A and B are shown apart, each in its own frame.
Chain A
């Protein structure tokens, strides 16, 4: 009676053991370990080069944000990992910018007494009458959201708060999320970790 010589076949092994036939297993223990190490190393390299959407990080939804100021004070980092981000396609490049100027500012210029940002992280540059380009100096920004509130109240909402993923230390229990009164923080896939508001279909914002 012929027997199939398959190393993994239990009956064959049993038969070999029982009859004393020498049966070479398909993989030795050493080979198995080598193969396992190769698979692990290859898989690790692939995962590093292709971060999965299922790896999660913290992000705040600007649609829920109330600009309460706690992103600036509650983060374990100083300054906060939350920064103002500018969605330029939504900006009106206004002269009288609600995110840049104090409400009721005596002059529409870059005087410290007229600027809304407490750390002068929002800069503006003249483009042409009457348009200005607004940029955020990320190193200075503390993520308080004053400019975001001014922009939302009077402008198009192009200034928005976001957790900068390269700065965030990815705490398991985000201190800001715990303090957020709007429940705006959520875990999002790292591959899609920014949640900026954008124009719907381009063009002018929807009225």
Chain B
């Protein structure tokens, strides 16, 4: 007797059911893997800095008009010579650019200068971490000044026809040199007579610059302001403005860099909230040059260093911003034509004719 084939045949699931089961298992694994996350922590556990980085268009007084790309690794310092030549220092070299950003010369340098200034006679003064190196106009090394010790960290050099001022962030002093490399005096000692408690420099950002009238201004970053000192070190005047708002200097230590325009206004760069602004001689905010969105964020989430490596103002009164990660100089000019800005700046002056230029909060 022949059995019915269906009774002894192996029982298989139909192919379509296998397919459905496979898809279901894969989908389950994907869902579990995708949803196996804790809940997003609430705002009490997170710090959001975005609200502080917003800048209204009406507060922006300058626009970018050019960008000079640099064939230079790790650009770190910027200066403008008396003849208008733009000098940029970086790893292993100093580049000389004309006013349009074209490279006209390149000087090889050992190491990476952290600061640079150009003397009236064309000599280049380079801050090489713990000492100053002097190059002649052709780029040949003339002399290395005496080293300042292991703690030294030269972050800025300001030079006029006879004096050189070197800001040492590591030792929190500004050294006054002559061109022979001799230290004439040291600024930064507490001076109760002039209510000066010394420079507060929590991080290696410590800038000094001359204004258009030749006065020496030094940033006191831990106090969030600028101080006008005599070459002897006496504090003449100062203004401090800590604050997260647009009008103030944010964070622990700002501004990081300064530069003066010909009309007496001062350009400031900040880190933390990366922005560049201009203040009138009476310390009122003229406007924003570069917003946080205009500048590259630091590549590292945990990098608090500023993308702005240095600031300068050229002979045409343009603002030059050296951005290290972009390997470029960003050139900014007033949004309107020059006459409009000069009106805006001059307005500040005219309105405060009773206040001398660069007046500070304290006057001895």
Q: Which residues of A contact B (CB under 8 A)?
A: 62-70, 72-74, 92-98, 103-104, 108, 116, 118, 129-131, 142, 144-146, 149-157, 175, 178-179, 182, 197, 202-207
Q: Could you list some 5 contacts between A and B, CB below 8 A?
A: A73-B41, A103-B52, A155-B304, A202-B150, A204-B170
**By the criterion CB–CB under 8 Å, are A206 and B41 in contact?**
no
Taking CB atoms and an 8 Å cut-off, the chain B residues in 230-265 that contact chain A are 242-245, 250-253
In angstroms, Cα B43 to Cα A69, docked, is: 9
Contacts of A154 on B, CB cut-off 8 Å?
250-253, 271-272, 304
**By the criterion CB–CB under 8 Å, are A130 and B251 in contact?**
no
| Given A178-B37, A202-B150, A205-B203, 4 more pairs with CB closer than 8 A | A67-B46, A155-B304, A157-B302, A207-B204
In angstroms, Cα B250 to Cα A149, docked, is: 15
**By the criterion CB–CB under 8 Å, are B200 and A116 in contact?**
no
**By the criterion CB–CB under 8 Å, are B202 and A155 in contact?**
yes
**By the criterion CB–CB under 8 Å, are A152 and B222 in contact?**
no
In angstroms, Cα B223 to Cα A63, docked, is: 29
**By the criterion CB–CB under 8 Å, are B114 and A130 in contact?**
no
In angstroms, Cα B250 to Cα A207, docked, is: 18
In angstroms, Cα B49 to Cα A103, docked, is: 8
Contacts of A207 on B, CB cut-off 8 Å?
76, 114, 153, 155, 204-205, 305
**By the criterion CB–CB under 8 Å, are A153 and B49 in contact?**
yes
Contacts of A206 on B, CB cut-off 8 Å?
204
State whether the Cβ of B151 lies closer than 8 Å to any Cβ in chain A: yes
For B245, give the chain A residue with the smallest CB separation: A104
- Least CB distance, B73 to chain A, in whole angstroms: 15
State whether the Cβ of B169 lies closer than 8 Å to any Cβ in chain A: yes
Give the interface centre of B45, B245, B252 by most chain A CB atoms within 10 Å.
B252
**By the criterion CB–CB under 8 Å, are A130 and B223 in contact?**
yes
Contacts of A202 on B, CB cut-off 8 Å?
150
Contacts of B76 on A, CB cut-off 8 Å?
207
- Least CB distance, A108 to chain B, in whole angstroms: 8
Contacts of B272 on A, CB cut-off 8 Å?
98, 153-154
Contacts of A131 on B, CB cut-off 8 Å?
200
- Least CB distance, A204 to chain B, in whole angstroms: 4
